[in-house]
Amino acid sequence: MKFAIIIPAHNEENFIGKTLESLCKQTHLPSEIIVVNDNSTDGTVKIITSYRDQFDFIKVINSTSTDLHLPGSKIINAFYKGYKSISKPFDIICKFDADLIFPSNYLEQLAFHFKNEEKVGMAAGFCEIETQNGWKLEDFTSKDHIRGALKAYRKACFEEIGGLRRSMGWDTLDELLARYYGWEIVTDPNLRVKHLKPTGENYAKQATGIHGEALYKLRYGWPLTIITGLKMGVKRKSFSVFKQYISGYHNSKLKKLEFLVDEHQGKYIRNLRWKGILKKLNLS
């Protein structure tokens, strides 16, 4: 299967070389890697260019945007600049972060999953972070969720869900819509990807209120929003996190922001979430 990989990169000189090195050593090489240099001011461009000069399947696109890490929009805007530059046929489209080290068989195993079942629309491994006791799974890890850092879509699935939204919550909406349209999502526990720069605390604080906005745009409704806010507040041991989820949702409702899904899709999403909650509570 032919892989097109897009990597948005903003000031990633400490990591991007390791990411590209791991992708260039895959047992199943990609057809094309497009690195979108998003307004970097460090040595990112020099590193990317050195790999482009060595490997003819690597392309560099320069983009100018704000230095602010705007949750849900900056990275997707950069992704689409790369997407428009794809020049070779592909079966699988990937959005990878610029701070990952992939095992050498990563793309080969993804190809296996996509080939093995034609209804697999998305597939990925899991991210690990380095601790004093070695590498361990990220706290955000869930067997039912693919991290935004390493998304891979079958082309037909990507097109049917309408691509990626320039909004917070895009990396949840894509999976929900994939399921809505009958696609399966595969996560492979044997594929462990080293995440060199885990989600920072400052970014997490910045994004919390916007998460509440995302839940509104996904038509979660108040009950699911409260449950989600409580869950995240407990997980981060912070009552303010819960309040920010609630205020984000409430403010979005007052502003009557545009939804990301229609009423039928929203109903499907709510039902899917309630089934998941009841399953965890052993009530279904």
pLDDT at 100: 97
pLDDT at 83: 97
d(CA 174, CA 217): 13
Tokens representing 49? 């260019």
pLDDT at 207: 59
Tokens representing 161? 């869900």
Residue 214 CA neighbour count, 13 Å, CB half: 22
pLDDT at 40: 93
pLDDT at 198: 76
Number of H helices and number of E strands within the chain?
Answer: 10, 9
d(CA 171, CA 151): 8
For the beta carbon of residue 107, count every other beta carbon within 10 angstroms: 23
CATH topology of domain 3-195: Spore Coat Polysaccharide Biosynthesis Protein SpsA; Chain A (3.90.550)
User: Burial letters for 182-203: b for 16+ Cβ neighbours within 10 Å, e otherwise?
Assistant: ebebbbeeebbbbbbebbeeee
Q: Is the pTM of this model over 0.85?
A: yes
Q: How far is CA 224 from the centre of its chain?
A: 22
Angle in degrees, 0-180, between the axes of helices 239-255 and 221-235, rounded to the nearest 10: 150
d(CA 96, CA 85): 16
Residues 6+ apart with CB under 8 A from 265: 176, 177, 180, 219
Which regions of the chain carry the CATH code 3.90.550.10? 3-195
pLDDT at 141: 61
d(CA 128, CA 84): 31
pLDDT in tens, the chain (284 residues): 999 999 999 999 999 999 999 999 999 999 999 999 998 999 999 999 999 999 999 999 998 765 555 556 789 999 999 999 999 999 999 999 999 999 999 999 999 999 999 999 999 999 999 998 899 988 766 788 999 999 999 999 999 999 999 988 899 999 999 999 999 999 999 999 999 987 654 445 555 568 899 999 999 999 999 999 999 899 888 899 999 999 999 999 999 999 999 999 999 999 999 998 998 887 54
